[in-house]
Amino acid sequence: MPLIRAIQDNKQYLSDIDGFIGDGDHGINMNKGFTLCEEQLKAEPGDLSHGFKTLSHILMSQIGGSMGPLYGMFFSAMAKASKNKDTLDAAGFGQMLTAAKDKVQSISEAQPGDKTLLDVLLPAEESYRAALNANESFDSCLDRMSSAAEQGRDATKDMVAKVGRSSRLGERSRGVIDAGSASCCLILQVMAKAIKDTI
């Protein structure tokens, strides 16, 4: 599964970013959750929805802090939205992305500009939705999502953290990208590439 491999390959990168203004364990924790998911899926393979549901359960039960529940709900929403979908088209993925965005937003106290993964997820979903509504191709919708995710990630560098542990640093949190935004960008871009490789 490309998503699992990407998190494993970027474990150190994500932890290094987190180390500037956080605990430095974001990559370690994400790697732990995704690797446990990989092991479980090898024992109990299934469809896309099953994979997301398995990942969601592991992230919520095995990963501490705020990121486990946030990504757990992200993938739970994707699991529900992809259930009984034999094939994935632009509208179907749009439903998954919007469901994930809505769920994360509903449980997070963060607002746009607070230097969190929402600064990636919100513009990525908005850009995808705009392209979809403009009847652009699935490929183009994914490209727009990926580009917006990257821009959102990079924009967090100039933000001051308003929530979470890093918020205690105030102005000192400015100057480095948010680790959660980095992992969210990675997840969305890997998803986009994996889908594009199949369409």
* 56-69 tens-digit pLDDT: 999 999 887 788 99
In the prediction, which pLDDT does 107 show?
92
The domain that holds 159 is classified in CATH as 1.25.40.340
Return the DSSP state at 25: -
- Structural domain span for residue 55: 2-196
Q: What is the pTM of this model?
A: 0.94
Structure tokens at 78: 């994707």
Q: How many domains does the chain have?
A: 1
What local confidence, expressed as pLDDT, does residue 31 receive?
A: 95
pLDDT of residue 169: 80
Q: 85-124 burial by CB neighbour count: b if 16+ within 10 A, else e?
A: eeeeebeebbbbbbbbbebbbeebebeeebbbbbbbbbbb
Q: Which two tokens stand for residue 27?
A: 């990559």
CA 186 to chain centre: 7
Separation of CA 160 from chain center? 21
Q: What is the pLDDT of residues 141-156, one digit of tens each?
A: 999 999 999 999 999 9
Q: pLDDT, tens digit, for every residue of 70-114?
A: 999 999 999 999 998 878 999 999 999 999 999 999 999 899 999
| Distance of alpha carbon 163 from the chain centroid | 18
8-state DSSP, 137: -
- Residue 122 scores a pLDDT above 90: yes
Q: What is the DSSP string of 29-67?
A: HHHHHHHHHHHHHHHS---HHHHHHHHHHHHHHH--TTH
